[in-house]
Chain A
Amino acid sequence: MTAPRRDGEPLLRFEDVGRGYGDGPHAVRALGPVRFDVRSGELVAVMGPSGSGKTTLLSLAGALERPTEGRVLLRGRDLATLSAPARAALRRRDIGYVFQDLNLLPGLTALENVSLPLELDGVRLAAAREEARAALDAVGLASLAARFPDDLSGGERQRVAIARAFVGPRELLLADEPTGNLDSVTGERVLRHLRAACDGGRTAILVTHDPSHAGWADRVLFLRDGVLVDEAASGAGCLVRVEDGP
């Protein structure tokens, strides 16, 4: 995103956002109203039971859905006012999305899946492949780059989808339960990677059921029945006695 960064302006703002489906007696309010900001460089986790609106929140943030109430602002711009091509470009270039059901293309190898968004964005093939390889390497999958999704385990597919969301200059990463199939060591590795990306200036929203994964976030938002009920923010101090390690 090339818009100049104005101080104090959040990267993402949910302004009393709601999303309903259907009407009349079948109307459901999947989310809302919710109000929160995400600042640049933050890692925010969202937790809540199934059906509490986590995926809806993320798809609104990623301009995959439009709110039925309120506004979603990215760098101060209302996503609902963007033209369809502008929204498509935003999703290709600025927002990396890890879908709950991954959405990997079965006819492409892991490397090609990761490289595709760059190629679609006009990056030269060799450069795109090189970046894609680095992204796979960062999630520990360099050796499986030539495999097709069907020949990977659930956890490996998840990591390919994460690499695809990370590749390129995307500054907002939206991940919908991306660590569900990962063992604790691999899960921690992915979270360290995500954390480092945010420390390096990227911004991420992570939907997760794993408290120990949410623990990597600066803030944890708790959703219940479509509304935010609580927020945990990592402060200073620690119950472990030693102040700075041994």
Chain B
Amino acid sequence: MSIPLSLLAILSDRSAHGYGLKSRFEESTAGAWPLNVGQVYTTLRRLERDGLVLPEEGEGGARQTWRITDAGRTALEEWFGTPVEDDPPARDELSIKVLLAVAADAVDVTDIVQRQRVATMERLQRYTRRKRAADPERELPWTLLLDALILKAEAELKWLDLCEARLAERGR
């Protein structure tokens, strides 16, 4: 996740001070990725050095507010305009574990797949419980985040089914 661009995205609406940035970031992303205030200040100083934000006149210290510059807006537009490419894929522990288990003859892959299936399904059930409790209109970011997590868990389950089926075919 790009913290600098996330902060620019929030500043594109209106200026804010460090703590306000932290809370607005967390609000917009349903609290799933907590930021600490120290991280926010360090990032703001880097953005200032690169000419993407400027401190506003007036109070300094903790109440110091920041605004986005024209260069900042350009950088932000570029980010929003560029599709996310997960290629090469980020390191994924489950894929690695299963591939290594297939390679290691002594390991029972089916057992790993079955345990994982139960764990992933239970995670999916927990997300669904959260979604049930959420109001999709008032809590849109939270609902969208849960949708994403649920569909990732779904993809994982379908992949585990495929692993199992392919291993069974190989075993014949």
Contacts of A237 on B, CB cut-off 8 Å? 126
**For this complex, into which size category does the number of interface residues on chain A fall?**
20 to 34
Q: What is the CA–CA distance of A230 and B118 in the complex, to the nearest angstrom?
A: 7
Q: Is the CB of A212 within 8 A of B124?
A: yes
B126 touches A245 (CB 8 A): no
Interface membership of B102, Cβ < 8 A: no
Complex contacts, A220 vs chain B, CB 8 Å: 121, 125
A245–B151 Cα distance when bound, in Å, is 19
Q: Which of B32, B122, B150, B161 contacts A241 (CB 8 A)?
A: B32
Q: Does A121 contact B (CB under 8 A)?
A: no
Per the bound structure, the CA–CA distance linking A242 and B133 in Å amounts to 13
Taken together as a complex, chains A and B put the C-alpha atoms of A220 and B165 apart, in Å, by 20
Q: Are B32 and A211 in contact (CB under 8 A)?
A: no
Report the separation of the CA atoms of residues A236 and B127 in the bound assembly, to the nearest whole angstrom.
10
Indicate with 1 or 0, residue by residue over B117-145, a CB within 8 angstroms of chain A CB atoms.
11001111111111011100001011001
Which A residues, 131 to 148, have Cβ-Cβ distances below 8 Å to chain B? none
Distance to closest chain B CB from A233 (angstroms): 7
Which of A215, A229, A245 is in CB contact (< 8 Å) with B125? A215
Say whether chain A's binding surface is mostly helix, strand, loop, or mixed. loop
- B34 with A232: CB separation less than 8 A: no
Across the interface, name the chain A residue whose C-beta is closest to B32.
A240
Asked whether, in the complex, the Cβ of A242 is within 8 Å of the Cβ of B121, the reply is: no
Q: How far is the CB of B12 from chain A (nearest CB, A)?
A: 21
A246 near B141: Cβ-Cβ < 8 Å: yes
A-side contacts of B42, CB under 8 Å: none
A237 to B141, CA, bound (A): 20
Distance between Cα atoms of A70 and B112 in the complex (Å): 32
Q: Which residues of A contact B118 (CB under 8 A)?
A: 222, 230-232
For B26, B141, B161, the residue with the greatest tally of chain A CB atoms inside 10 Å of its CB is B161
Contact with A along B5-34 (1 / 0, CB 8 A): 000000000000000000000110011111
Given A232-B122, A241-B34, A215-B128 contact (CB < 8 Å): yes
Q: Is the CB of B151 within 8 A of A212?
A: yes
- The distance from the CB of B31 to the nearest CB of chain A, in whole angstroms, is 4
How far does the alpha carbon of A234 sit from the alpha carbon of B124 in the complex, in Å? 8
Which partner residue on chain A sits nearest B119 by CB separation?
A: A232
Q: How far is the CA of A240 from the CA of B161 in the complex (A)?
A: 25
Closest to A219 in B: B125
Chain A residues contacting B146 (CB-CB under 8 Å) are 240
Chain A residues with Cβ under 8 A from B31's Cβ?
241-242, 246
A: residues with CB less than 8 A from B are 49, 192, 195, 210-212, 214-217, 220, 222, 229-242, 244-246
